[in-house]
Structures are given as structure tokens and as C-alpha cells.
Amino acid sequence: MFKKEIAEGIYAALMGRMSKDEIMSKLEVPADSSFGEFSFPTFTLAGMLKKSPKIIAEELSKDIKLDIISEVKAVNGFLNFYINRNDAAEIILSEIEKNAPEDFYNTSGQTIVIDYSSPNIAKPFSMGHLRATILGDSLARILKKTGADVIGINHLGDWGTQFGKLITAYKKWGSEEKVSKNPIKELFELYQKFHVEAESTPELEDEARQAFSLLEQGNDVQMKLWNWFREVSIESFEVLYKRLGIDFDYIQGESFYNDKLSDVNQLLERKKLIEFDQGAYIVRLNKLPPALIKKRDGASLYITRDIAAMLHRVKHFQADQILYVVGQEQSVHFNQLSQISDILNISTDIEHVPFGLILKNGRKMSTRKGSVILLDDIIRDVEHHALNIIAEKNPDLKNKENIASHITDAAVKFMDLKHDRMNSYEFNIEDMLRFDGETGVYVMYTNSRIQSILRKTDRKIEGTVFKFDENMWPVLNQLSKYHAAVKEAAEKRMPSEICKYVIKLCREFNSYYAKERIIHSNNDISKLYMLKMVSNNIEEAMSLLGIKTVNEM
Ligand code: ARG
């Protein structure tokens, strides 16, 4: 909160000899708070000013005067800034409730399309899709908070050769009754049976290709089956989305672009980018494998539909940026797409937001044997554990099931989001449900403790004069870093920045609370006021992760 102000002060004292941006990037937060709240190294100025860093720091320390700073100390070439905590406290508490100024964020006013979740019909809803769903949802919330106009799209895999296989399998072995009763399970089993049978009867592959070709031509029989498979699958995805509190602005799957594919082909042809090579239409790229646009039989491909989607998003939504929250194994695909956008002179940023794997015992965790159903099972398993923990810790709690479901949500999402998204992590139910440590449960529990303190008092908190005391500082100092954490999370596409922030806030609060008596103490109203602000802030930070807190647990 005060960094910019301090940077301005240094800038003025240096009389323009270093840019504001550079000063901002050099201003750091010392690990040991006895060196102040901010510290600025003067070493790079030595050459230009022809003085030793020690002298430069000493001279500058006398030139910098700022209201919010109580003291500037020069120590071995560093300038250490000590904030006037008394004044800062009130500013922090009043600013934390407001939005950061618009010009604080680079994303403000931008239109950003986020393509996330995007599972495939008839194929498994993988742990990768779960991660894409959680990460995409959180990024959408964070970017919205920074003032961007966010459009969330589920690019459902509802078209492609797998439908040829599915239709063929259904015609051979399927039963309408069974599929109606248990669509996801049946469709998935049919899809698997196709692969097993095709091992010994390769002609099945030809049949499937033919079926897909008919589907692409809009044949009635194929279309009807496709439509049915699609609807029942979406219905069961929605159950999961609802359970996780996930919403999209649009479900525009791959099939949405069917009537826009000929435009893609024409555009590429007009620009002379497309060539016929070894039985397929391709676009040659620089330092990347060529993009396969059309097969000999006219069948469209994944990237063709992504080009169509990109053009649509650029034109229809006037997107400044399109983010694709998809596992890192698709990085070649998105590099191809991005290069094609450059060749086509599209100014919209095409950005792949990749992520690592979810592991079980060190190996990629798989839902292969049960599609979306297995994911439901996994979530139910976590919920079962959560319920046991609550029953043990707080047997009298009302509404245990409901609270266990919120805790599960928090545990699974926080576990995912707290990691640098490029890192893989172990799916460990015990770990994610720990009441201490870096978990969503710890954060929720801290918040419920604050709520219970607030419930115990009938003192009127609002509208009183806030009185700072020194013990409050670590908590307030952490609150002052909230907007910066949101900005960092938005710019780096890293919700983990918010997880780290909120964990530290809870740590600072818990050590404050261990030392302090709140109710019936001196200054109790100011303390309660600060607690309320901490709780509000925890709730808001968690909402940016897509997590709802509870007041009691
Ligand atoms: N359905 C794809 C898959 O599961 C992911 C789609 C990602 N979005 C996109 N525009 N390609 O692999």
C-alpha cells in the first residue's frame, strides 16, 4: 500500500536519476522487520554518482521526507524505511475495504476471455480437467477483481473423431434404456469397448471414420445420436460444476464452430498459407510442427476449431487477451495457435496458461476407469473424511453435512491453488484436511474463530475511533499487502499468490490472538474492529479462490 509513495519519495530525492519503475522493482521488503518495512539498495547508483553506496544512502536519508514514514535509516548502503504505524493503521483499515485504484492494475478495462475446464464428451473427465476447472475459475474471479471484463468459456470437446467411434459402438452394442439411465457410465463403457474390439477387428476404425464423416455432413441419424450423447453428458458435467460452485458465461464447445470452419479455410487459402502435403492440408510454421488443418477426407481437426474459436472471440467479444487454462502437455498446440494468430496479424494476446499434474503416489493420477463418476467418488471420499474430523472436533455442531461439504470444497481447491501452477502435487486427503499448516481448512478455521469472538460481543464496533496499539502491527502490515497480492496473482496468472497471502494473514492473526485478550480488555473496540476487518478480508481473499467460508466449524 505504501510502496508507491515511498518510491515517489526516492524518485524526488534522486531528481530523476533512476526511473520510478526501477525504483519500484528495487524496493524490497526486508525479511527481518527490524530493518524496517521497506528497504532500498543504493549500490547501482555508485558508478553514476561517483560516491560510495554508504555515503549515497546517508545523503539520501536526509533528503527523503514523507508523511507516512517515521524514520529513514542509512545502513551499509541500504535505505531502511520505517512506517509511521499509528497513521498507517487507519489508512490500511480504510483502504482494505475499498478496491485498489484503477490504474493500480494493468488488466483494468481489458476484455479477457478465459477458456477453461473444457472436458471431452465420452472421454474421461481427468484430474487435469479438474485442475483446469479450479484454476480457471479462480483466475476469472481474480481478473474480474482487477477491473477486467472477463468472459469465461467452457470449450467442451463435443466434436471430433471420438463421436464416430461412439456412434459405431452404440449402434453395435448399445441400449437406449441403459444409456438413458446412466449416460456417462454407459457411454464411457461403449467408448472403451470400441477400443478393445478394434484391436482384433481393425475394420471398426473405418466404420468409425465413416460415421464421423456422416456426422460432419449433418446426416440425420448421426446428428440425433450426437445430440443425445451431448445433452446427457452436459447434464452430468453440470452436477459436478454445481457441486464445485463453478459457472461459465458460455458453454461453447468445439461443435459451436462447425459453421465457421469454411471461413477459416478460406482465410488461410486467401493468405496462401495452406498447402496440400502427404494427404492433408497444412499450414507450415516456424520451428514448430506444421498445423494440420484438414484431412484428405475433409475432416476438420482440433486446431482448425481452435482457429475458428480464436477468430470468433477476437471479433465477437473484442477480446484483448485470450487465456487458455490447459495442461502443459498441450503447449505445442498453443504455440502453433499463437504463431498462426501472429501470421494473421491478430493483435489479441493468445496466452496458454499451463499447469502441472495431480499425482497419486508419485504417478499421474488417473480417472481413466470411470470418467466423471470417479471424480464424484473422489470428492465424496474427501467429504467423508471431513465429516469424521468435524464429528470428532465439534460433535455438537449443527448442519455437519453442509459444513463438511464446504470444507471439502475448500480443501480440494486450496490444495490445488496454493502450488505454483507449474508444479505437480500429490493428492493427499489427510494433508488437504489439516487444521494447521497451509490448507484451506486452516484458513476457514481461523476465520470461524474470529467469527465466534465477534458473536460473543454486543459492543457496537462501527463508527468508533480506531486506536492503534503496537501488537496489532504484524496483522495490519500483512493486510496492507492485499492489493499487491491480487495484482501479482492476476499478472502472473498465479492464484497461489493469494493463498500465500491469506495463510500469512492467518498466521499473524493467530499469533496476535495467542498473546492478546480481546473482549473486556483495554481498547477492545479497536481490537474487535480489526478482527472484523481481518475476517472480511479472509472471506474476500477466499472468494477469489472460489471458496466460501463458514462461520462455525
Ligand atoms: N478438450 C480439450 C482436452 O481435454 C481441452 C480444450 C482446451 N481449450 C481449447 N481451446 N483447446 O484436451
β-sheet bridge partners, residue 251: 154
Cell of 101: 485504484
Give the per-residue SS3 of 170-201: HHHHCCHHHHHHCHHHHHHHHHHHHHHHHHHC
Please indicate, yes or no, if residue 342 is contained in any of the structural domains: no
Bigger pLDDT: 368 vs 151: 151
Q: Read off the pLDDT of residues 405-435 as tens digits, 9 standing for 90 and up.
A: 999 999 999 999 999 999 999 999 999 999 9
Please indicate, yes or no, if residue 76 is contained in any of the structural domains: yes
Query: CB of 160 closer than 6 A to ligand 1?
Result: no
Instruction: Indicate yes or no: pTM above 0.90.
Output: yes
**Residue 365 confidence (pLDDT) above 90:** no
**Residue 259 confidence (pLDDT) above 80:** yes
Closest ligand 1 atom, residue 309 Cα:
10
407 and 509 together in one domain: yes
**Residue 443 confidence (pLDDT) above 60:** yes
Domain that holds residue 57: 3-83
Beta strands in 259-326 (DSSP E): 274-277, 280-283, 291-295, 321-325
Please indicate, yes or no, if residue 485 is contained in any of the structural domains: yes
Task: Give me the pLDDT at residue 296, please.
Answer: 84
Please indicate, yes or no, if residue 149 is contained in any of the structural domains: no
Average pLDDT of span 299-316: 95
- Confidence class of residue 523 from pLDDT cuts 50, 70 and 90? confident
Q: Read off the pLDDT of residues 218-253 as tens digits, 9 standing for 90 and up.
A: 999 999 999 999 998 898 899 999 999 999 999 999
Which of 330, 333, 351 is the best mutation target for the ligand 1 pocket, counting ligand atoms within 8 Å of the beta carbon and taking the most?
Answer: 330
CA distance linking residue 471 with residue 515, whole number of Å = 9
Q: Read off the pLDDT of residues 265-276 as tens digits, 9 standing for 90 and up.
A: 999 999 999 999
Query: CB of 131 closer than 6 A to ligand 1?
Result: no
Closest residue to atom 6 of ligand 1, CA basis: 118
392 and 524 together in one domain: yes
75 and 199 together in one domain: no
Closest residue to atom 8 of ligand 1, CA basis: 155
Query: CB of 116 closer than 6 A to ligand 1?
Result: no
Task: Give me the pLDDT at residue 375, please.
Answer: 83
397 and 509 together in one domain: yes
| SS3 label, residue 124 | coil
Burial 375-405 (b: 16+ CB within 10 A, else e): bbebbeebbebbbebbeeeeeeeeebeebbb
Q: Read off the pLDDT of residues 152-165 as tens digits, 9 standing for 90 and up.
A: 999 999 998 889 99
- Which residue in the block uniquely carries the three cell numbers 434404456? 177
Task: Give me the pLDDT at residue 373, please.
Answer: 63
Could you tell me the distance, in angstroms and rounded to a whole number, from the CA of residue 212 to the centre of ligand 1?
19
DSSP state of 439: S
Last residue of a domain, one of 33, 57, 83: 83
| SS3 label, residue 249 | coil
415 and 518 together in one domain: yes
Task: Give me the pLDDT at residue 371, please.
Answer: 52
Bigger pLDDT: 501 vs 161: 501
394 and 540 together in one domain: yes
Could you tell me the distance, in angstroms and rounded to a whole number, from the CA of residue 157 to the centre of ligand 1?
7
76 and 169 together in one domain: no
CA distance linking residue 364 with residue 382, whole number of Å = 19
- Confidence class of residue 506 from pLDDT cuts 50, 70 and 90? very high
75 and 166 together in one domain: no
Could you tell me the distance, in angstroms and rounded to a whole number, from the CA of residue 155 to the centre of ligand 1?
6
Query: CB of 118 closer than 6 A to ligand 1?
Result: yes
Last residue of a domain, one of 83, 107, 133: 83
Task: Give me the pLDDT at residue 509, please.
Answer: 98
CB-facing half-sphere around the CA of 544: CA atoms within 13 A:
28
Closest ligand 1 atom, residue 126 Cα:
4
Closest ligand 1 atom, residue 156 Cα:
1
Query: CB of 306 closer than 6 A to ligand 1?
Result: yes
72 and 175 together in one domain: no
Closest ligand 1 atom, residue 129 Cα:
4
Q: Which of 166-170, 185-189, 315-319 has the lowest mean pLDDT?
A: 185-189
Q: What is the ipTM of this complex?
A: 0.99
pLDDT > 90: percent of the chain: 82
Minimal CA–CA distance to 142: which of 420, 496, 416? 496
Last residue of a domain, one of 21, 52, 83: 83
Query: CB of 127 closer than 6 A to ligand 1?
Result: no
pLDDT > 70: percent of the chain: 99
**Residue 370 confidence (pLDDT) above 60:** no
Average pLDDT of span 371-397: 88
47 and 165 together in one domain: no
CATH of the domain at 386: 1.10.730.10
Please indicate, yes or no, if residue 353 is contained in any of the structural domains: no
**Residue 542 confidence (pLDDT) above 60:** yes
Q: Which helix (H) or strand (E) holds 411?
A: helix 400-417
Please indicate, yes or no, if residue 49 is contained in any of the structural domains: yes
Closest residue to atom 11 of ligand 1, CA basis: 306
Closest ligand 1 atom, residue 333 Cα:
11
Closest ligand 1 atom, residue 326 Cα:
7
Query: CB of 254 closer than 6 A to ligand 1?
Result: no
CA distance linking residue 246 with residue 136, whole number of Å = 10
Task: Give me the pLDDT at residue 367, please.
Answer: 66
Closest ligand 1 atom, residue 302 Cα:
11
Task: Give me the pLDDT at residue 372, please.
Answer: 55
The domain tally of the chain equals: 3
177 and 65 together in one domain: no
Closest residue to atom 4 of ligand 1, CA basis: 119
Average pLDDT value over all residues in the chain: 93
Please indicate, yes or no, if residue 32 is contained in any of the structural domains: yes
Query: CB of 324 closer than 6 A to ligand 1?
Result: yes
- Confidence class of residue 204 from pLDDT cuts 50, 70 and 90? very high
- Confidence class of residue 368 from pLDDT cuts 50, 70 and 90? low
Task: Give me the pLDDT at residue 339, please.
Answer: 98
171 and 68 together in one domain: no
Bin 194: left if φ > 0, else alpha if -120 < ψ < 50, else beta. Answer: alpha
Please indicate, yes or no, if residue 9 is contained in any of the structural domains: yes
